[in-house]
Amino acid sequence: MKLDFAKKQIDGYNILTMVSQIDNLYDIVLDFNGMNILRVTNILDEDLSFKTVDENPAIGKSLRIFLSNPLMKGKQIDIIVYYQTNDGQTAVSWVPKENTLGKHMDFMYTQCEPIHCRSLIPMQDSPSMKFTYDIEVETERSFISFASANFTKEVFSGGTRKSFFSNKIPTAGYLIALVSGELVETKVGERTYVITEPEMVDAAVAELNELDRTIKEMEKYTGIPYVWGNYRIVILPPNFPYGGMENPLLTLATPYILVGDKSGVTVANHEIAHSWTGNLVTNMNWDNFWLNEGFTVFLERKISKILNNDTFVKIDARNGNSSMYQAMIGYGLDNKYSSLYPRSGKSNPDDAFSTIPYEKGYQFLLYLESLDGETNF
């Protein structure tokens, strides 16, 4: 995909390798939103007919692709979708240089959770769909890009830079992420790196230089190795609307976690915990979002007890409970979004996102643990 900072636009194509799950498959349906579909072809560059359907503006549109010949069960097909994003996209934030710390270059980052990846790439945008992927990012030569995948190579041509990335672990689309701008990568531990603007390197390194210990303690507690290789966290400009986002190999975080006393490191610890609960084992749909976040808060606080102490965890849980209750008051105590299983139906799952699945999920798991004892649980 080509990032055009001047136009705030992405020109891209997506090559999908898919396997039919049924006999006589005549068409394929993808999700998209905020983009113009320019062309659809097979791997031989032969055009395929398609139509777009706008049944539910709350969640985007459908791209229905018609196959030249029906596909039998177990057979593979490669389809290429050429597209261009427009002003309706919701995945990409284009940050003018005036709003960066260094104020030298524009900046971009993506946020795909829960269903915004369809504004970045036409795809089957559900957490139940996991896939491996390769990403190619083209920018002007001065821009440095990172993706939620392992860097493989760079190619320069005239004034352009092409960066190539690959992720061989099946991953849901909401965890795809890109950043591009004036960025520096600094190693802070055996398996951990921070990525920041140059002016923020010292503060980030000082605050986040103990993340290796977090990974080791989580490996010990879960009994499962950290499978993603290295861990990278990007400190974004202040307009990032979340504390952090757990994209594998590329956690995104607000600069407000860099407070000078390591109290903001719990955000990074939470995103690291997602490497097991969420990224590795994932909720199948967004009505069960608590399975991602409740287990992650549970794991984060188990490790926080080791890294800090029991009192720290109790205060953190008390604050979390207060935040959860305020969110429930905001929705209404009898509102479906105040429950663990909101059944969002045809609504945008963003409407249900709050501290409730985090803290109510954590409390439910804590209750289950109390029934069976911590060791057995």
pLDDT at 249: 97
Percent of the chain topping pLDDT 70: 100
pLDDT at 213: 97
Structure token pair of residue 96: 């003018």
CATH of domain 283-377: 1.10.390.10
What distance lies between CA 100 and its chain's CA centroid? 22
Question: If pLDDT is split at 50, 70 and 90, which confidence band does 317 have?
Answer: very high
Helix, coil or strand: residue 365: helix
Mean pLDDT of 65-72: 96
Mean pLDDT of 60-75: 96
pLDDT at 55: 86
Burial class (CB in 10 A: 0-12, 13-18, 19+), 98: exposed
pLDDT at 253: 97
pLDDT at 149: 98
pLDDT at 350: 95
pLDDT at 239: 86
For the chain, domain boundaries: 2-181, 283-377
pLDDT at 152: 98
Which of 113, 182, 217, 271 is catalytic? The answer is 271
Q: Quick check: 212 pLDDT over 90? A: yes
Which residue in the block uniquely carries the two structure tokens 């084992």? Answer: 281
Which of 83, 226, 231, 358 is catalytic? The answer is 358
Contact 258, 240 (CB under 8 A): no
Mean pLDDT of 325-349: 96
pLDDT tens-digit profile of 31-56? Answer: 999 999 999 999 999 999 999 999 89
pLDDT at 43: 95
Q: Is 231 labeled as catalytic in the residue annotation?
A: no
Using CA atoms, how far residue 78 sits from 38, 48, 93, 283, in Å, is: 17, 12, 30, 27
Per-residue DSSP letter, 72 = P
Task: At 352, give phi and psi (nearest 5°).
Answer: -95, -5
What distance lies between CA 275 and its chain's CA centroid? 11
Please choose, from the candidates 159, 147, 353, the residue with its C-alpha nearest in 3D space to the C-alpha of residue 248. Answer: 147
| Rounded (10°) angle between helices 265-273 and 211-222 | 40
pTM score, whole prediction: 0.96
What residue spans of the chain are helical by DSSP H?
A: 201-207, 211-222, 265-273, 289-307, 310-331, 356-372
Contact 75, 23 (CB under 8 A): no
Q: Is 369 labeled as catalytic in the residue annotation?
A: no
Q: Which residues contact 86 (CB under 8 A, 6 or more apart)?
A: 9, 34, 35, 36
User: Measured between alpha carbons, how far is 377 from 374 in angstroms, rounded to an integer?
Assistant: 5
Q: Which CATH number is correct for 2-181, 2.40.30.20, 2.60.40.1730, 3.40.50.11060, 3.90.226.10?
A: 2.60.40.1730
User: Measured between alpha carbons, how far is 108 from 87 in angstroms, rounded to an integer?
Assistant: 15
Q: Across the chain, what does the average pLDDT equal?
A: 97
pLDDT at 45: 96
What distance lies between CA 46 and its chain's CA centroid? 33
pLDDT at 194: 98
Please choose, from the candidates 63, 18, 25, the residue with its C-alpha nearest in 3D space to the C-alpha of residue 42. Answer: 18
Going 286 to 321 to 258 to 212, the CA torsion angle's sign is: negative
Q: Which residues contact 85 (CB under 8 A, 6 or more apart)?
A: 9, 10, 12, 34, 35, 36, 92, 119, 120
Mean pLDDT of 314-328: 97
Question: If pLDDT is split at 50, 70 and 90, which confidence band does 153 have?
Answer: very high
pLDDT tens-digit profile of 249-263? Answer: 999 999 999 999 998
Contact 233, 214 (CB under 8 A): no
Q: Quick check: 203 pLDDT over 90? A: yes
Q: Quick check: 227 pLDDT over 90? A: yes
pLDDT tens-digit profile of 112-144? Answer: 999 999 999 999 999 999 999 999 999 999 999
